[in-house]
Amino acid sequence: MGFPHKHLIDISEYSADEIMQLLKTAESFKEVNERRIKQVPTLKGATIVNMFNEPSTRTRSSFEIAEKRLSANSLNFGGSSTSSVKGESLSDTVETLCSYKIDMIIVRDKHAGVPRKIADLSGVHVIDAGDGKHQHPTQALLDLYSIWEHKGSFEGLNVGVVGDISHSRVCGSLIPALKIMGANVCVIAPPTLIPANVEVLGADSVTSDFDSVLPDLDAVYMLRVQRERMEGAPFPSLREYNMMFGLTQQRDRLMKPDAIICHPGPINRGVELDSFMADHPDRSVILDQVYAGILVRMAALYLLLGGSEDGITA
Amino acid sequence: MSGPLVKTTCMNEEDIDRALTRMAHQILEANHGAQGLALVGIVTRGDILAKRLQDKIEQIEGVRLPLGKLDISFYRDDFMTHFAPEVLGTDIPFDIDGMTVVLVDDVLYTGRTIRAALDALMDIGRPASVQLAVLVDRGHRELPIRADYVGKNVPSASDESVRLFLKDVDGASAVEILDMDPGQRAGAAPLGAKEGVA
């Protein structure tokens, strides 16, 4: 009956049933978000620290809205105001936070592995809100939710993940999550943006020829070209990237009639996604993904914080 | 592990049906008809009882009342100390502002579920009034809450569990008094609890 996880750090630790439970719980929060009073008292008295050690607007605001709609008390901690700039170690920071008697830490950090370290140090619930190039599990959940909402199931679904695989923590969670749920995953990217060990993510196929696989895809997941993370020149120009790997208006006719377009945002219009496709009324589910972000984060807070491990089921 | 021992069956299918018929009449009588009335059942069995009351009121009065279901998972007062309950979803497809809402539940016990349901309703809208209909009142109230319509008063001990099973979801209908396993809470049985029982 209970939810068997204390943390949401590595999506590979979750089973298909548990992910489905998260998605169904997320769905039931829709009703709360559509009321006049968009708040329930469920997490009254819980204190959640949003520890964002790296810039984030969307993920952070989405978590904050989820916390507020569940009546949790939240504390924003991080950025240039943190004591790490004064030289405090991570473990001292975490111990200080724990002395506030908090219940959960949401962590965003530029170093992979920090959420796990904090979980070990703190003993409180931890959700990974993106760590380095490693994982971003709530992003994967909101992507799964949007795909599930539009496609109904994952079994046998062909999903293409296009773009900067090597710098993407979104992929680090999304590809394993899609595989857990039974989808087929095709990675499409310039050879320079495919990590050497792409097979560990579990993708079924890898190609650099977008047009050859596009007609088979049920969902096309366009990754953002992360210009700020790139060193050297992985491709000659943004214009050439757009021609080879961008979802251009010309590619619309190659797609299945009911194929959908996902993007984690923020979009580089004219680079990985043409405006025509980003705003496509039948295909683009990008704004649904943003809304799903609130739903799945509410579900994760609800299931992780619900009850102590020695609780008795009804 | 053996299931809890059934001590007494205090209502069978016919008893339940007769009680619901009487409650439907009482609801109409107390409200001088069906004007402005709405039924909201608390999941997982109150919603099924509410549907049956809706059918009965339609047979009596010829009016089909608006029907909704309410999941109180987000309003429980034991959320942080017990496992997150499975969320089955609230669905109230009409505006409850200004309506007389009859809340429907299966078993009235401590009153905590009804407290949660009242809070949930007030977040959804502003009904003119709220009334409470329960199939079974087993006593042991911990809050100042009473039902307006009661199918049957069933005296019980607090180490017993009073459970309603319904044919539509459990395979057979009955109200039963069961001995509880130590540490077990007096919640509703999972749906399908009687599946396979003749």
pLDDT digits (tens, 9 = 90+) for A114-141: 999 999 999 999 999 999 989 999 999 9
Q: How far is B25 from chain A (nearest CA, A)?
A: 32
CA distance linking residue B5 with residue B55, whole number of Å: 34
From A77-91, A98-112, A155-169, A278-292, the region with the lowest mean pLDDT = A77-91
Looking at residue B186, its pLDDT comes to: 59
Q: Are B67 and B51 in contact (CB under 8 A)?
A: yes
CATH architecture observed for domain B14-156: 3-Layer(aba) Sandwich (3.40)
Residues of A in contact with B117 (CB under 8 A): none
Looking at residue A309, its pLDDT comes to: 43
- Whether the CB of B187 is below 8 Å from some CB of chain A: the reply is yes
Among B87, B92, B97, most A C-beta atoms within 10 A, so best to mutate, is B87
- Whether the CB of B193 is below 8 Å from some CB of chain A: the reply is no
HSE-CB of B79 using CA atoms within 13 angstroms: 26
Number of other CB atoms surrounding residue B37 within 10 Å:
20
Reply yes or no on whether the pLDDT at A308 is more than 60.
no
Chain B residue with minimum CA distance to A312: B82
CA distance linking residue B80 with residue A306, whole number of Å: 5
- Whether the CB of B180 is below 8 Å from some CB of chain A: the reply is no
Backbone torsions φ then ψ of A246, nearest 5 degrees: -80, 150
Reply yes or no on whether the pLDDT at A290 is more than 50.
yes
Looking at residue B31, its pLDDT comes to: 97
Banded pLDDT at B185 (limits 50, 70, 90): low
- Check residues A230 and A18 and name the one with the higher pLDDT: A18
Chain B residue with minimum CA distance to A299: B87
Which whole number is the average pLDDT over B96-113? 95
Residues of A in contact with B93 (CB under 8 A): none
Q: Do A306 and B87 touch (CB under 8 A)?
A: no
Reply yes or no on whether the pLDDT at A151 is more than 70.
yes
CA distance linking residue A2 with residue A312, whole number of Å: 9
From A228-242, B18-32, B45-59, B138-152, the region with the lowest mean pLDDT = A228-242
Looking at residue B4, its pLDDT comes to: 65
Written in H, E and C, the secondary structure of A98-157 is HHCCCCEEEEEECCCCHHHHHHHHHCCEEEEEEECCCECHHHHHHHHHHHHHHHCCCCCC
CA distance linking residue A271 with residue A245, whole number of Å: 9
- Check residues A307 and A29 and name the one with the higher pLDDT: A29
3-state secondary structure of A51: strand
Q: Are A104 and A304 in contact (CB under 8 A)?
A: yes
Using the Cα atoms of residue A207, residue A211, residue A215 and residue A217 in order, give the sign of their dihedral.
positive
Radius of gyration of chain B (CA): 16
Closest partner residue to A314 (CB to CB) among B85, B89, B123 is: B85
- Cis amide linkage into residue A4, ω under 30° from 0: no
Domain A11-136+292-305: which topology?
A: Rossmann fold (3.40.50)
Looking at residue A314, its pLDDT comes to: 28
% pLDDT > 70, chain A: 94
Banded pLDDT at A312 (limits 50, 70, 90): very low
A137-290 has the same fold as A11-136+292-305: yes
- Whether the CB of B94 is below 8 Å from some CB of chain A: the reply is no
CATH architecture observed for domain A137-290: 3-Layer(aba) Sandwich (3.40)
Reply yes or no on whether the pLDDT at B2 is more than 70.
no
Among B73, B80, B180, most A C-beta atoms within 10 A, so best to mutate, is B80
CA distance linking residue A278 with residue A121, whole number of Å: 42
Read off the pLDDT of residues B54-91 as tens digits, 9 standing for 90 and up.
Answer: 999 999 999 999 999 999 988 987 776 666 777 888 99
CA distance linking residue A58 with residue B91, whole number of Å: 29
CA distance linking residue A73 with residue A85, whole number of Å: 26
Reply yes or no on whether the pLDDT at A211 is more than 90.
yes
Looking at residue B187, its pLDDT comes to: 64
Which whole number is the average pLDDT over B130-138? 96
Read off the pLDDT of residues A2-30 as tens digits, 9 standing for 90 and up.
Answer: 789 999 999 999 999 999 999 999 999 99
β A260-262/A219-222 pair status:
parallel
Residues of B in contact with A17 (CB under 8 A): none
| Token couple for B107 | 């078993």
- Whether the CB of B6 is below 8 Å from some CB of chain A: the reply is no
Looking at residue A237, its pLDDT comes to: 87
Q: How far is A124 from chain B (nearest CA, A)?
A: 14
Looking at residue B191, its pLDDT comes to: 74
Q: Do B84 and A43 touch (CB under 8 A)?
A: no
Residues of B in contact with A48 (CB under 8 A): none
Banded pLDDT at A255 (limits 50, 70, 90): very high
- Whether the CB of B109 is below 8 Å from some CB of chain A: the reply is no
A30: left (phi > 0), else alpha (psi -120 to 50), else beta? alpha
| Token couple for B181 | 């396993």
Which whole number is the average pLDDT over A73-97? 81
Banded pLDDT at B3 (limits 50, 70, 90): low
Looking at residue A141, its pLDDT comes to: 98
CA distance linking residue B46 with residue A24, whole number of Å: 22
Q: Residue A235: which of A202, A177, A189 has the closest Cα?
A: A189
Number of other CB atoms surrounding residue A151 within 10 Å:
18
Banded pLDDT at A196 (limits 50, 70, 90): confident
Q: Are B110 and B155 in contact (CB under 8 A)?
A: no
Q: Could you state, in order of their start, the residue ranges of all structural domains in chain A?
A: 11-136+292-305, 137-290
Q: Do A32 and B83 touch (CB under 8 A)?
A: no
CA distance linking residue A277 with residue A220, whole number of Å: 11
Which whole number is the average pLDDT over B186-192? 68
Residues of B in contact with A2 (CB under 8 A): 83-84
Q: Are A219 and A186 in contact (CB under 8 A)?
A: no
Longest dimension (CA), chain B: 51
Q: Are A90 and A62 in contact (CB under 8 A)?
A: no
**Length of chain A measured in residues:** 314
Task: Give the dihedral of Cα atoms A243, A246, A249, A250; nearest 10 deg.
Answer: 40
- Whether the CB of B91 is below 8 Å from some CB of chain A: the reply is yes
User: Taking all residues of chain A, what is their mean pLDDT, rounded to a whole number?
Assistant: 91
- Whether the CB of B71 is below 8 Å from some CB of chain A: the reply is yes
Q: How many CB pairs under 8 A join A and B?
A: 81
Reply yes or no on whether the pLDDT at B28 is more than 90.
yes
Residues of A in contact with B80 (CB under 8 A): 43, 45-46, 305-308
Inter-CA distances, A22 with A28, A217, A256, Å = 10, 25, 29
From A212-221, A227-236, A297-306, B31-40, the region with the lowest mean pLDDT = A227-236
Q: Do A307 and B74 touch (CB under 8 A)?
A: no
Q: Provide the whole-model pTM.
A: 0.87
